[in-house]
Chains A and B, each alone.
Chain A
Amino acid sequence: QVQLQESGPGLVKPSETLSLTCTVSGYSITGGYYWGWIRQPPGRGLEWIGSIYHSGSTNYSPSLRSRVTISVDTSKNRFSLKLSSVTAADTAVYYCARAPDYGDYVWGQGRLVTVSS
């Protein structure tokens, strides 16, 4: 059974880069799915950030594309998110997911990241 776990700093300073990693267990990241990131600001709705295939092919939300980088490490069965130049508006719970285009997502538990000095 596939499981995903987010990890990374829970506090990031404004203007710095947010970095999170999603470790996948119970399934090989090379198994043919896209792997994605979604976020949810406190008290608000879900926002799709982007996704990556094990080949390294990426897709990003147009609204975040200029600041987002998603990468994959197949040797460690994990993928990562970097979001640059963060502001308080980037404070959110960040979820990773096995994210096929047709929507049958398998979700991680989420990681709260707060942007504050």
Chain B
Amino acid sequence: QTVVTQEPSFSVSPGGTVTLTCGLSSGSVSTDYYPSWYQQTPGQAPRTLIYRTNTRSSGVPHRFSGSILGNKAALTITGAQADDESDYYCMLYMGGGFSVFGGGTKLTVL
């Protein structure tokens, strides 16, 4: 069974840059997996940030960007703000209409 991996936690200073990654327990992530990223604050529904590797969803600030770095998908936040403190989930499309979420990364801004 394929597992989508993410760092459990990360911290960044206000104004700093942080890159979160999304990998596979076996193999490399490519654009074929349509990597997408979601932000979730406690008690709220997730919000789509990035889809299809690097396309920002409607209304998402430009400080959020997506890419492929090596064998993983990546979400970079440039100029982190206090309200970026959230859980971040990636999702990969496995083909055949089936997708899998990563375990999520808890980002602290301090």
Q: Name the distance in Å between B3's Cβ and chain A's nearest Cβ.
A: 12
Task: Tell me if A59 counts as interface (CB < 8 A to partner B).
Answer: yes
Residue contact B98 to A48, C-beta cutoff 8 Å: yes
B102 contacts across to A, CB distance below 8 A? 45
Chain A residue at minimal CB-CB distance from B100: A48
A48-B91, A102-B34 given; name 11 further pairs at CB < 8 Å.
A45-B89, A46-B89, A59-B96, A95-B46, A101-B93, A103-B48, A103-B51, A104-B48, A105-B38, A105-B48, A110-B45
Q: How far is the CA of A12 from the CA of B98 in the complex (A)?
A: 27
- A90-113 CB contacts (< 8 Å) to partner B: 95, 101-110
Interface flags for B39-58 (1: CB within 8 Å of A; 0: not) read: 01000011110011001010
What would be 29 A-B contacts, judged by CB atoms less than 8 Å apart? A45-B101, A45-B102, A45-B103, A45-B104, A46-B46, A46-B89, A46-B91, A46-B104, A48-B99, A51-B97, A62-B98, A63-B1, A95-B45, A95-B46, A101-B34, A102-B34, A102-B36, A102-B51, A103-B48, A103-B51, A103-B52, A103-B91, A103-B93, A103-B99, A104-B51, A104-B55, A104-B57, A105-B38, A110-B45
Residues of A within 8 A of B47 (CB): 107
- In the complex, the answer to whether B98 meets A107 with C-beta atoms within 8 Å is no
Q: With A and B bound together, what is the CA distance between A59 and B99 in angstroms?
A: 9
Given A46-B104, A106-B48, A110-B45, verify A101-B97 contact (CB < 8 Å).
yes
CB distance A104 to B36 under 8 Å? Answer: yes
A-B contact count (CB 8 A): 68
A16 touches B (CB below 8 Å): no
Rounded to whole angstroms, the CA-CA distance of A111 and B81 in the bound complex is 30
- Smallest CB gap from A101: residue in B: B93
- The answer on a CB contact under 8 Å between A102 and B104 is no
Q: Across the interface, which residues of B come within 8 angstroms of A73, CB to CB?
A: none
Chain B positions within 8 Å of A107 at CB level:
45-48
Q: B52 contacts which of A63, A95, A102 (Cβ < 8 Å)?
A: A102
Give every chain B residue within 8 A of A46 (Cβ-Cβ): 38, 40, 46, 89, 91, 101, 104
